[in-house]
Amino acid sequence: MINTRILPGILFTAAFGIIATAQPADKFWPPGKSPKIVSRLVIEDLLSRPGYMMYHTEHVTAVHYAEVCTAFGAARLAGLLHDTSTIERLSERYRKVIGDSIENTSNHVDANVYGILPLEIYLQNRDRVFFEQGIELANRQWQDPLPNGLTNQARFWIDDVWMIGSLQIQAYRATGNKIYLSRAADVTVAYLDRLQRPNGLFFHGEKAPFFWGRGNGWVAAGLAEVISELPQDHPHYTAIAAGYKKMMDALLKYQAEDGMWRQLVDVDSAWKETSCTGMFGYAIAVGVKRGILPEAGFRPAYRKAWLALTDYITEEGKISNVCVGTGQSKEMEYYLNRPAVTGDFHGQAPILWLAYCLLEDQTSYTLRIDDKQ
């Protein structure tokens, strides 16, 4: 937890101007829990890292999707806060990916999803270099589509709901071309039809019958991205909205009293995990803010999630209790015994996503003394 005795408002870092005296706490949040101040600390942690987190497998090379998702959240927040300095620093960091010819094989969902970042930077600064990079990755996701019209990157792993859906939604936001919206919707409804379980959650895989937290987090966040842009008259809106609401209802049931969710969502003995908590909080917040979910019950849920998550943030802006990368397993103990680490981008990213929702307007992040938790 951030040491509020020393830093009652957290000192701003170099990206936002060093201030010699501690800042007063945000009047809407308890000391050390302001979304604006916490997110600035997390962004500075990202920008202070000297190299890129890379994704390497036998056939895939790219900047790791976890760093991409963190930088995507940072760019959105900087745009919301009209922080041109941070936009420029992000642009400089990721322009080097282009200038230094950092490899991106763009033949896999975990590589193509990089496109969400340059498209977000483009939306903030209108630099066509970033647009061209991002839109190429979005278009290449649909090279040689399957006979059913889906991308050939559709492997029906649950995290694909984010990896495919978020990129196509970003392409739609950057162009206004509804082909990208339809692609995202087509994939999302196919994944819902095939993978969502009767309780609203998603097994980690066909041979891994467990509701792993972060795996379900990718689904929840991906559904939120798609449903936030999909018009109600779209042919797939009703099915996607129903699947999204079913999942959000299930998540409300399994949230712990302190606001956290667990490594295995439905197992009370499982340890509390931060990356899924941030993702679930974000997915719920998007639904409330877009009028898809009722405020009653759901607004307290994402606020409690934020208040709980800030207890896991270090003074350096790193979040703890993040599950390491996790493959599929038939054994429950495999999930329960996964190591927890601090500062992993899988956990950093959802903090920024949720902070963005909390800061999007005054009513979403106001925390009043007389509000019931």
- Quote helix, strand, coil % in the chain, to nearest 5: 55, 5, 40
Tens of pLDDT along the chain (373 residues) come to 443 323 333 333 333 332 223 445 577 899 889 999 999 999 999 999 999 999 999 999 999 999 999 999 999 999 999 999 999 999 999 999 999 999 999 999 999 999 999 999 999 999 999 999 999 999 999 999 999 999 999 999 999 999 999 999 999 999 999 999 999 999 999 999 999 999 999 999 989 999 999 999 999 999 999 999 999 999 999 999 999 999 999 999 999 999 999 999 999 999 999 999 999 999 999 999 999 999 999 999 999 999 999 999 999 999 999 999 999 999 999 999 999 999 999 999 999 999 999 998 544 334 333 343 3
- d(CA 199, CA 222) in angstroms, rounded, equals 18
CB–CB of 218/159 below 8 Å?
yes
Instruction: Return the half-sphere exposure (C-beta side, CA atoms, 13 A cut-off) of residue 330.
Output: 1
Q: What is the pTM of this model?
A: 0.91
Rg, the chain, Cα only: 19
- 62: part of which helix (H) or strand (E)? strand 61-63
The domains located in the chain, with CATH, are 14-362 (1.50.10.10)
CA 193 to chain centre: 23
Nearest to 280 by CA among 369, 366, 202: 202
Burial 255-264 (b: 16+ CB within 10 A, else e): beeebbbbbb
For 239, phi and psi rounded to 5 degrees?
-70, -40
Residue that has been written with the tokens 């990213």 in this structure: 349
Question: If 0-12 CB within 10 Å is exposed, 13-18 middle and 19+ buried, where does residue 235 land?
Answer: exposed
- What is the DSSP-derived secondary structure letter of residue 264? B
Q: Which two tokens stand for residue 20?
A: 């010699």
Distances (CA, A) of 90 to 31, 131, 283, 371: 28, 15, 25, 37
